Amino acid sequence: MSGNQMTIRIIQAAISLVVLAGPAFGPVMAAENRRPNVLFLFTDDQRPDAIAALGNPAIKTPNMDSLARQGLVFRNAYIFGSDVGAVCRPSRNMLLSGRTYFRWSGPYAPADQPNFPASMKQAGYFTYHHGKKGNNAVLIQKLFDVDKYVDEGTERKSGEPGKSIVDEAIVFLKDRRADKPFFMYLAFGNPHDPRVADQKYLDLYHRDKIPLPKNYMPLHPFDNGEMVIRDELLAPWPRTEDEIRRQLHEYYAVISGLDRNVGRLLTAVKQLGLSDNTIIIYSSDNGLAVGSHGLMGKQSLYDHSAKVPLIMVGPGIPRGSSDALVYLMDIFPTICEMTGTAIPDGLDGTSLKPVIDKKAESVRDSIFMSYGNCQRGIREERFKLIRYPLINKTQLFDLQADPDELHNLADDTGQNERIDKMMAELAQWQKRLGDKAPLTAADPHDAKFTPPTGDQLDALLGRWKMK
């Protein structure tokens, strides 16, 4: 056999091997390309009802409404709680770590333990974060391939909520590597105050026609342990109807502005042909009172503050709604399972895929909630108990009959057995979590709240730099 013939035979054999191997290698590459992208839109201080499609016809959110119609709405999604007044910080750290704030010391979840971006990156995803600068999960966020920040003060005063984050996200989507799936986490700084909306968004509403929340009150009926925190100084006491309408006008207008920019991003996703293979998640770090129960902030365990919108859209996700009891920290393991990514051991969050696949109605029987050392709560399918240890006060709400939490059943002797059972379950939750806060005070504080005035109020405003 001549040298040329030998060379030809070798080439032919090599071609045959490639042809034979093609079907083996091809599906692997195709499978990688088919792995769903993940687009996570995470807002700041958005009430669970601050989307029209979720039950509030007063607000104008056509793009968020479209997401809700296309996907699965979790109607009982909660934050776990907070150890500080800046509720957004532990909320965002728990979201990205999948663990409760009882699992770490200091203000931030450590980056050397399993977390959301590290898991997605290890699974072959390109990871992208762009969000607000303050009160975030700064240690974990450094692990994103792209980790960028906006000055939320400037962003919130721009009149165009979320525009700069969306502008850069669209550029990334156009220029990205098409052979690599992406995990994009956009952590908006809106509708947190200061709330500044362009006039075109303000003009969407007639202030005097904005309905007040059904649980609007001029004053909270007792001292919940956090009555003069910064957020509560955003409006004078008593909270007048005019003032709450003014606040809601700005709040709704900012959300409408954010909705427009979210819509721009969703349009880009569609135009780039990414819609069919992208999981989209929409949620928020906590809710906000804005006049409900006489409160302004999010430092309470009422549903307007502890509950958040949660919408999931994409391949494998049915349309509809779920009443499953859900934590924000469930999102991390859920996305892992839905993308074929290994779920790390030791997470407090639980994958919601059984609920999404309609194989289970919920992944837990109850939700534990906490705020500082002054509030603890537990939510079951129908009833919710809130305990105020510093004043030895209990609230019990039948959420089926009283979703606005207006009628406290704790003084009804017919509920004693239920209260005892839920208090015992609350204590069991604390034991499992390592929460050592007492549920009863030996020397309780005065439950009466007297709004600060004069020098006392001036001192508080000065402390929070609000003068």
pLDDT at 208: 97
Give the pLDDT confidence of 329-356 residue by residue, as tens digits. Answer: 999 999 999 999 999 999 999 999 999 9
Q: What angle do CA 398, 248, 65 make, to 5 degrees?
A: 75
Give the pLDDT confidence of 434-459 residue by residue, as tens digits. Answer: 999 999 999 999 999 999 999 999 99
The pLDDT of residue 28 is above 70? no
pLDDT at 31: 43
Backbone torsions φ then ψ of 432, nearest 5 degrees? -65, -35
When pLDDT is averaged across residues 255-271 and rounded to a whole number, the result is: 99
CATH topology of domain 34-361: Alkaline Phosphatase, subunit A (3.40.720)
Q: Any idea which residue has 């604390």 for tokens?
A: 430
Q: Are strands 77-78 and 326-327 parallel, antiparallel or unpaired?
A: parallel
pLDDT at 135: 85
Number of CB atoms found within 10 A of residue 104's CB: 17
The pLDDT of residue 61 is above 80? yes
Q: What angle do CA 73, 77, 78 make, to 5 degrees?
A: 165
Angle between helices 88-97 and 331-338 (to 10 degrees): 30
For CATH 3.40.720.10, the residue range(s) in the chain are 34-361
| Whole-number Cα distances in Å, 467 to 141, 243, 462 | 33, 18, 6
Q: Is the dihedral of CA 355, 358, 360, 366 positive or negative?
A: positive
User: What's the whole-number average pLDDT of the chain?
Assistant: 93
The pLDDT of residue 466 is above 90? no
pLDDT at 157: 86
When pLDDT is averaged across residues 242-268 and rounded to a whole number, the result is: 99
Q: CB of 390 within 8 A of CB of 444?
A: yes
pLDDT band at 154 (very low <50, low <70, confident <90, very high): confident
pLDDT at 153: 77
Distance CA 336, CA 175 (A): 25
The pLDDT of residue 3 is above 50? no
pLDDT at 156: 82
For CATH 3.30.1120.10, the residue range(s) in the chain are 370-463
The CATH-assigned architecture of domain 370-463 is 2-Layer Sandwich (3.30)
The pLDDT of residue 224 is above 80? yes
Nearest to 289 by CA among 225, 214, 223, 222: 214
Give the pLDDT confidence of 100-130 residue by residue, as tens digits. Answer: 999 999 999 999 999 999 999 999 999 999 9
pLDDT band at 33 (very low <50, low <70, confident <90, very high): low
When pLDDT is averaged across residues 260-268 and rounded to a whole number, the result is: 99
21's tokens: 């191997």
The pLDDT of residue 131 is above 50? yes
Lowest mean pLDDT among 2-6, 253-257, 268-272: 2-6
Task: Tell which wins on pLDDT, 408 or 6.
Answer: 408
Q: DSSP letter at 194?
A: S
Q: DSSP letter at 115?
A: -
Task: Give me the long-range contacts of 209-214 (CB less than 8 A, separation at least 24).
Answer: 210/58, 210/245, 210/248, 210/249, 210/252, 211/58, 212/241, 212/244, 212/245, 212/248, 212/291, 213/244, 213/290, 213/291, 213/292, 213/304, 213/404, 214/404, 214/406
pLDDT at 51: 99
Task: Tell which wins on pLDDT, 9 or 226.
Answer: 226
Nearest to 187 by CA among 37, 337, 39, 348: 39
The pLDDT of residue 376 is above 70? yes
